[in-house]
Amino acid sequence: MSYKKRLLYLILIDSLIVLTSVFVSFFLLSPGGNLLSPILITSSLVLLAGHHLFAAFFKLYKRAWQYASVNELTSIFYAVTFSVMISAFTQVIFFGELFLRTLFITWMMHIILIGGSRFAWRLYRDTYMKPKFKGKRTLIIGAGNAGTMIVRQLKHNDKPELDPVGFVDDDINKMYLEILDVPVLGNVQDITRLADEYKIEHIVIAIPSLNRQELQHIFQECSKTEAKTQILPRIEDLMLGNVSVNHFKDVEVEDLLGRDPVKLDIDGIADYITSKTVLVTGAGGSIGSEICRQIARFSPQELVLLGHGENSIYSIEMELRRNIPDLNIDTEIADVQDREKIFTIMEQRKPHVVFHAAAHKHVPLMERNPEEAVKNNVVGTKNVAEASSANGVNTFVMVSTDKAVNPTSVMGATKRIAEMIVQHMDMISETRFVAVRFGNVLGSRGSVIPLFKEQIKNGGPVTVTHPDMIRYFMTIPEASRLVLQAGSLAQGGEVFVLDMGEPVKIVDLAKNLIKLSGYTEEEIPIVFTGMRPGEKMFEELLGADEVHQEQVYPMIYRGKTPPVNINVTYDLVERFMDSDRELLRQELLDIANFRVGGLRVLNAVK
């Protein structure tokens, strides 16, 4: 039905209701009265005009009445009440009398008939126009506002893909009640039983405010069933309007293994980034690009994206220009190993802050190519650090790794030696130099998750090195925020570490990914391949002699690593290309693990 035709019908129906209300009320109170008296005719016309006026004001003719609810009833109440009040004023002003009882009965009949005519359509639609198609039998976890909104939208969908069978909620006050004709069947512990009893095909977790520990618990119960499990988007996405309440997403491993984010000291970060020139090395990488996204929120004077790969730099540049048009961005294609180029860039740009994220991070590859690890991780860091110092950079933040603690791999050893260089530079420079360590980053390039996903996509098997191997995990945004926060906390020479919570077994991660992909371990088996060169069963974040128990910021710790003889490190930098790979690998591990004689005399070097 067209809008104009629908509007005409509603106006005619409302006109009949208004006139019927007036004359029936008058007849009930005065059966023998004159129905054509001037006061009655005038009141009726004023009431009719007032009704249409206020109906238009409260948009009664624009509402979709098949979805009528309390808000629509409130609008009807206001429109009717105001129109009756105008009719009452007309009686008093023009005729000097007030038919109060007649107006009161008119008001009641008016509301009942107008409301009834609207809600009758909804009742008819819900009763006789329900779609014949029935969607998948669905269990809604959470009988709160979000769960209720989901059920309401599913019930009003002409072709629902999901058919809500029941709620699950731990609130005992809701147990066994019905919400929108959907019963609350039990609590989280009952999920397995309910899925079997009610033949559930789909589960929606409708609690957007869940913390990750609670989500893990609920998902573990859901994973015991054969139903597909999805989750409502994050509450901030719902509040910002990025998605609607019925846009479910699959549960991702990041939802289960990531930790609740650290609250940032926004003012502290803004103090050293806002209106400053900021340079990020490795800006095209997974960590570097996210650091750039986070920096962009604080309105730097200029953000310089430095990287070796032109495609990745172009990608993050275009993304930032598209999302933040007012951001002043420039790019530099350069290799951190090119000392002359790095010094030239620093001299031209004069950055206030440098975030050094460029590095080789792949453990097995660096084990086979130790000289390349030294070039990028050690020499590259030395170049960027010395260029920063020479050009008056205020704060230098280096991205490090938990593999730098008691390293057993070339990659870990080179990152530990890079930390040594940064600590040494802090002692001889006006620039504040700090390092930030964190564990494995979910979804970053070279991490285990993309590998597992690719193996699952190819039909398996999923390869895990050892059933007891465990790692710390955090999300890319969380790691990047930590890097920014470290810069605001820096006094110089620190190694900042996030409280990573409990480590996760790699085999459990593989099992979750298989389940999340819709397979069983029988369909996608897990195969243990044995530990690779350089790998450890467990990776610490701070060594025993580095731990400071007090937090410098909620969930952030500070450690100071032992001083070293920087001459030993610089001597290796001068001659590493002449070393045999095996000898170079051993030297790196000796220096990084303080096994070289004459160490711990850094103060003398200063």
Write out the catalytic residue numbers.
403
Separation of alpha carbons 560 and 545, rounded Å: 9
| Rounded-to-integer distance, Cα 455 and Cα 441, Å | 19
Whole-angstrom distance, CA of residue 98 vs CA of residue 82:
16
Q: Cis check for the bond before 131: say yes or no (omega within 30 of 0).
A: no
Q: In 3D, which of 198, 140, 212, 149 has the Cα closest to residue 169?
A: 140
* Nearest partner of 327 among 290, 302, 305, judged by Cα: 302
CA distances from 604 to 23, 44, 599, 601 (A): 105, 102, 11, 6
The DSSP bridge pattern shows strands 395-399 and 473-475 to be unpaired
* Torsion angle defined by CA atoms of residues 130, 136, 142 and 147, in that order, rounded to the nearest 10 degrees: -40
**Sequential DSSP letters for 42-105:** HHHHHHHHHHHHHHHHTTTTTS-GGG--HHHHHHHHHHHHHHHHHHHHHIIIIIS---HHHHHH
Tokens coding 399: 């991205």
DSSP SS3 for 549:
coil
Q: Give CA–CA dist 291/285, Å, rounded.
A: 10
Contact yes or no for 246/154 (Cβ under 8 A): yes
Using the structure block, give the residue that is written with the tokens 């039998």. 137
CA–CA gap between residue 501 and residue 438 (Å, rounded):
12
**Type of residue at 495:** V
Partnered with residue 474 across adjacent β-strands are 441
Q: Which two tokens stand for residue 245?
A: 């309440």
3-state secondary structure of 278: strand
Rounded Cα–Cα distance for residues 377 and 418 (Å): 6
What 3-state class would DSSP assign to 253?
A: helix
Report the distance separating Cα 93 and Cα 106, nearest Å: 19
C-alpha–C-alpha distance, residues 373 and 578, integer Å = 15
CB neighbourhood size of 32 (10 A): 5
